[in-house]
Amino acid sequence: MSQQTSVLYDVPGPRQRRITLISSVVAAVVLLVGAYFLIYQPLADKGQFSMELWGPLVDPSNENFALVWERIGIGFKNTLTAAALAIVASLVVGTLLAVLRIQLKSLTQRRFTGMATPLAYLLRGVSLLLSAVTRVCVEVFRGLPVVITIFFVARGFPEFGIAMDTLWYLVIGLTIYNSVVIAEILRSGMEGLPGGQREAAAAIGLSPLQTTRMILLPQSFRIMLPALISQLVVVLKDTSLGFIISYEETLNIGKQIIGVLGNPIQVYVVIAVLFIVVNYSLSKLAQYLQRRLSQGRKTAGTPAQNPPPAALMSQAEGAGSA
């Protein structure tokens, strides 16, 4: 960031710095006055700053304090449980899906020589069909909003007599969407690798599956780690969608607290701060890993890899539904 900004403009001199300082102080005063009249006053008029509303959240001596935070704790634990389950499940399913799609792709290029002609045609047809089916599935589930996926799971499963805890509806819904996204991330990582990797693996006699498992997949994980972690942040944020199927996560607990205490703004501020702190530290972790990895790659002397496609990276950063 710092080098980037300094490229766009000259380093400010003493006069510029003085002007900046004075004008920002003036602007800050104007903004504070504006905020006082436009935000603080209306809120204070409605008594939004009274201890009656904030007390249960910030004042340990309040009678409700312990209970409220215990409930929020439960909600947060539920959020984290659902997020952890969904993350593990979508990583596993996503990896399998990526491997499957890579395998099917190489299978469609095989001509099955040395078999009876009808059999060879049949096998080629089947592999083409499977490849197309997985492609369509990926496109469909990537294009659907994750809210809708969760909603469909929660509404559809009981219709077919599969009754489960709401936790599992949420986890399944999140997994369907995120495993597809993760599969696409990993697959593009594998396809971005230099072709020599695959050829070298074939030359020493590894089967296609072994090539994927031992050569391509580990490298792809490594390149795509930042994108993967951003996607995991997205999963954590998406867990808050559990409230639409009344899973008892943080927001839902918040709603219950509001129902009793009647302080929506205060509760949502606290919940927002909780989410921001956790997600911000996860994003920082992703940045740190990215730095570490780019250093590691330099010293290892491997050839420069193709950068991951921008669409997928930003998909991982922006695509989550909430």
Partner 1 sequence: MNVLIDKFDVFAGGFWLTLQICVLAAIGALLLGAVVAVLRISPVPPLRAVGTGYVNVFRNMPLTVVMFFAAFGLPALGSNADFLRIPGLDAVFSRLDTDLPYFRFALIALVLYTAAFVCEALRSGVNAVPAGQAEAARSLGLTFGQNLRYVVLPQSWKASIVPLGSVIIAMIKNSALAGFFGVVGDLSATADQLTGAEGYAFIPVAIGISIGYLIMTVPLGALLDRIEKRQAVAR
CB 130, CB 216: distance < 8 Å: no
154/215 with CB nearer partner 1: 154
Residue 269: CB atoms within 10 Å? 13
What part of residues 264-293 is at the interface with partner 1 (CB under 8 A)? 264-265, 268, 271-272, 275-276, 278-280, 283
The answer to the question of residue 144 lying near partner 1 (CB under 8 A) is: yes
Q: Least distance to partner 1 from the beta carbon of 88, Å?
A: 20
x-marked contacts with partner 1 along 219-258 as a string, rule CB under 8 A: --------------x---xx-xx-xx------x-------
Residue 46 near partner 1 by CB under 8 A = yes
Dmax (CA) for the chain in angstroms is 85
166 within 8 A of 246, measured Cβ to Cβ: yes
27 belongs to the binding site for partner 1 (CB under 8 A)? yes
Q: Work out whether 143 is an interface residue with partner 1 (CB under 8 A).
A: yes
CB of residue 228 to partner 1, shortest distance in Å = 16
- Separation of alpha carbons 72 and 56, rounded Å: 12
Nearest approach, Cβ of residue 203 and partner 1 (Å): 27
Q: What φ, ψ does residue 182 adopt, rounded to 5°?
A: -65, -40
- Cβ 315 to partner 1 shortest distance, Å: 5
Distance, CA of 10 to CA of 17 (rounded, Å): 12
The count of chain residues that interact with partner 1, using the rule CB under 8 A, is: 62
The total of other beta-carbon atoms located within 10 Å of residue 289's CB is 14
Question: Which of 67, 128, 148, 164 is close enough to bind partner 1 by CB under 8 A?
Answer: 148
- Residues binding partner 1 (CB under 8 A): 3-5, 7-10, 12, 20, 24, 27-28, 39, 42-43, 46, 48, 139-140, 142-148, 151-152, 155-156, 159, 233, 237-238, 240-241, 243-244, 251, 264-265, 268, 271-272, 275-276, 278-280, 283, 309-311, 313-315, 317-322
